[in-house]
Amino acid sequence: MATRPALRRLWNWLAPRLRRGLTFWRRSIQARVVASTVVLSAVVVSGVGWILLQQTRDGLVRHRVEVVQGEVDAEVADAQDRLAAASGTEVNVGRQQRDLVDPIIERGDSRGYSVVLAGPEGQDPPLRNGGGEYSSGLDLVSVPESLEAHFDGVNRATAWTYTQIVRRNADGIHREPGVIVGSQVQLPADGKTYTLYFLFPLTEEKDTLALVTRALLTAAGLLLALVAGLTWLVTRQVVTPIRMARQVAERLAAGRLQERLQVSGEDDLARLAYSFNQMATNLQRQIRQLEELSWVQRRFVSDVSHELRTPLTTVRMASDVLHDAREDFDPATARSAELMQAELDRFENLLVDLLEISRFDAGAAVLSTENVHLGDVVRRVVEAAQPLADQRGVRVVVQEPAVPVRADVDVRRVERIVRNLVTNAIDHALADDPTEAVLVRLASDDEAAAITVRDHGVGLAPGEASMVFNRFWRSDPARTRTSGGTGLGLAIAQEDAHLHGGWLQAWGRTGQGAQFRLTVPRHAGGTLRHSPLPLIPEDAVSSDAAIVVGPSGVVPALEEGP
């Protein structure tokens, strides 16, 4: 249990460093190129080094075996000569065995190899149980059983194999790799065939191979370090201009349109920097032109809107006089007076909307917030729109929770948003289906308040959801609108929602109607993360997309906010 706090402290210390390392790895193409180059180089160097070590080891062992076989052949020839010289005298078998092996053991002790003399076939005890003569300190397990089995008869050819030479002394047991060579000789004293085993250690070859291995590892380490350094320098020459271009692009995106890259040389990167600067210059010029054009357009709309108010007021006064006296006119003139009054109302509404749009464009729109019950605002809008709903034969139903839905909002602007949504829903609803009503719902939580307006009318065709908030856009320009909209209602509603730091979202499907959702923070200046009401109606497929209009503009979204 005591280890858990220590592990937790270790993780708390390690986690931020891991995150910084992962962030650096994701963002640094230079680090990834260097790492991948070093890894690939390490794989190649390891493969080449392994091949070189294998070839070196095989060469050392092959040379050692050739030398050993030559030395064994010389020893066996000398032994046979000595045995042949003593064959004419009566010699004890044991004495002849010692005369045979003792000189070889003495030379082996001086030259670094060991000797074992194994008795003839059927000797009791066998070699592994102590039979035979051998060099001092040698353990007979050093003789492989496979090689013993090779010399289980007479007239066997000389053979060799690898073995583990085991020696026992006062310091303990020592093991070392070696080569063992076996050869048969015939003892004249008894006429039987004996086997001589010569065990040559491979210590020098092992030391040589270790030296070569250390040299290769050192060279590989230095080579990888050199490759890493060269790769870092080469990638730095390419990455540094890219980083400078990124920094300049970020400053351009932040509005510092005068930023440019330094151009030095005539290589591809210099030409890229020159092209980047040309692009930035052209963008700066076009942005300034667009800003000037936008300013001129806004100024024109504002000036025209203000200039039209005076003649409109005069025309309105004359129209009011004619409209009030229409009963004294003939039917055609009276109808003309009514039409003129209606069109003046429409024109005045358009002028008011244009003035509101010009205030948004000029950045002069401000909020006057107060904590209000949004249910009162919705009911007030629905009551005002009831005559239009009765004319169209559409029912409007308001659903609100038992707990009042309150929020800090600009009442005038929220009321204008809801009015636009409700009148649009009534205007697009299907009047011949009394079971389908325009449904207005309210809900709230600790952070946000939401209002949805649902109709079951013609809906929105694919691609139209991205255009419903455009100025002067209509889904069917040729269709008669009994509500007399100007085409700016949803655009103004979008700006009002934006001003509150809220979202205005739209969902629709052809033949299934549409739903609009307004979500605002409950407290002024709050940040939205979700909406208390779903955007997609329960009777619709949940995979449909929507358009979210929030503080950052229009972006695609699903049920929750951006």
My answer on whether 393 and 328 are in the same domain is no
Residue 78 lies in a domain: no
> Can you give the CATH number for the domain in which 140 is found?
3.30.450
Alpha carbon distances (Å) from 373 to 7, 369, 370, 409, 496: 53, 12, 10, 10, 18
Kindly state whether residues 343 and 448 are assigned to the same domain: no
Same domain? 196 vs 265: no
From 168, 186, 201, give the residue that closes a domain. Answer: 201
The answer to whether the CB of 93 falls within 8 A of the CB of 169 is no
Residue 183 lies in a domain: yes
125 and 182 housed in the same domain? yes
Question: Which residue in 496, 474, 470 sits closest to 483, CA to CA?
Answer: 474
Dist CA 497 CA 504 (whole Å) = 6
User: Do residues 357 and 294 lie in contact, with contact meaning Cβ atoms separated by under 8 Å?
Assistant: no
What distance in Å separates the CA atoms of residue 425 and residue 228, rounded to the nearest whole number?
Answer: 67
Write down the residue that tokens 């129209």 correspond to: 319
CA distance 188 to 186: 6
State which of 175, 201, 227 marks the end of a domain: 201
Contact 461, 428 (CB under 8 A): no
User: Which pair of tokens denotes residue 196?
Assistant: 């001589």
Which residue has tokens 């380490």? 221
Residue 296 and residue 411 share a domain? no
CA-based nearest residue to 459, from 475, 470, 437, 440 = 475
Q: Which of residues 150, 178, 201 is at a domain's end?
A: 201
What are the beta bridge partners of residue 401? none
> Does residue 71 form part of some domain?
no
Q: Is 137 in the same domain as 273? A: no
Sheet holding 546-550, edge to edge: 396-399, 438-444, 448-455, 513-521, 503-509, 546-550, 553-557
In a domain, 214, yes or no: no
Together in a domain, 377 and 439: yes
Counted domains in the chain: 3
Domain assignment present for residue 133? The answer is: yes
Whether 452 and 515 have beta carbons less than 8 Å apart is answered as: yes
Residue 553 burial class via C-beta count within 10 angstroms: exposed 0-12, middle 13-18, buried 19 and up? exposed
End-to-end CA distance of the chain: 44
Pairing of strands 133-134, 114-118: antiparallel
16, part of any domain: no
DSSP code at position 138: B
123 DSSP 8-state letter: -
| Residue 205: strand, helix, or coil | helix
| Residue 375: inside a domain | yes
Q: What is the pLDDT along the chain (562 residues), one digit of tens a residue?
A: 557 777 888 888 888 888 888 887 877 788 888 888 999 999 999 999 999 999 998 898 889 888 888 888 888 888 888 777 765 554 566 677 776 777 888 888 788 888 888 877 655 555 655 556 778 888 888 888 888 888 887 788 889 898 998 888 878 888 888 999 988 888 776 777 888 889 999 888 888 989 999 999 999 999 999 999 998 888 888 888 778 888 888 888 787 878 887 777 777 777 888 888 888 888 888 878 877 776 776 676 666 666 677 777 777 787 787 777 788 788 888 888 788 877 777 777 677 766 676 666 666 677 788 999 999 999 999 998 888 888 888 889 999 898 889 999 988 889 989 988 998 888 887 655 556 788 999 999 888 999 999 988 888 877 776 778 777 776 655 444 444 456 777 888 888 888 888 989 888 888 788 889 999 999 888 888 888 998 888 877 544 444 444 444 433 343 444 4
Collapsing DSSP states into helix, strand and coil, what is residue 90? coil
Rounded Cα–Cα distance for residues 378 and 492 (Å): 18
Q: At what angle do helices 489-499 and 331-362 cross, to 10 degrees?
A: 30
Task: Kindly report the three-state secondary structure assignment for every residue of 319-368.
Answer: HHHHHHCHHHCCHHHHHHHHHHHHHHHHHHHHHHHHHHHHHHHHCCCCCC
Determine the 3-state secondary structure of 306 from DSSP: helix
Q: What CATH number corresponds to the domain at position 316?
A: 1.10.287.130
What would the DSSP string read from start to end of 217-243?
A: HHHHHHHHHHHHHHHHHHHHHHHHHHH
340 and 426 assigned to the same domain: no
Residue 314 and residue 416 in one domain? no
For residues 282 and 542, give the distance between their C-alpha atoms in angstroms, rounded to a whole number.
Answer: 44
Q: How far is CA 259 from CA 249, 264, 287, in A?
A: 8, 16, 14
468 Cβ contact partners less than 8 Å away, ≥ 6 residues apart = 460, 475, 490, 506, 547
Contact between 62 and 54 under an 8 Å Cβ cutoff? The reply is: no
Q: Which of 381, 380, 462, 368 is nearest to 426 (CA)?
A: 381
Q: Are 152 and 127 in contact (CB under 8 A)?
A: no
The CATH number of the domain where 444 resides is what? 3.30.565.10
Report pLDDT for 364.
Answer: 65
- Check whether residue 419 and residue 539 sit in a common domain: yes
Closest Cα to residue 148, out of 188, 112, 197? Answer: 197
Contacts 24+ apart (CB under 8 A), 383-386: 384/419, 385/419, 385/422, 385/423, 385/426
Residue found by looking up tokens 């009566």 in the block: 90
Q: Which domain holds residue 154?
A: 88-201
Give the CA distances from residue 388 to residues 455, 457, 509, in Å, rounded to whole numbers and listed in that order. Answer: 15, 16, 24
User: How many Cα neighbours within 13 Å face the side chain of 189?
Assistant: 16
Residues 310 and 410 in one domain: no
In a shared domain, residues 492 and 532: yes
Q: Token pair for residue 27?
A: 């963002």
The answer to whether 108 and 114 have CB atoms below 8 angstroms apart is: yes
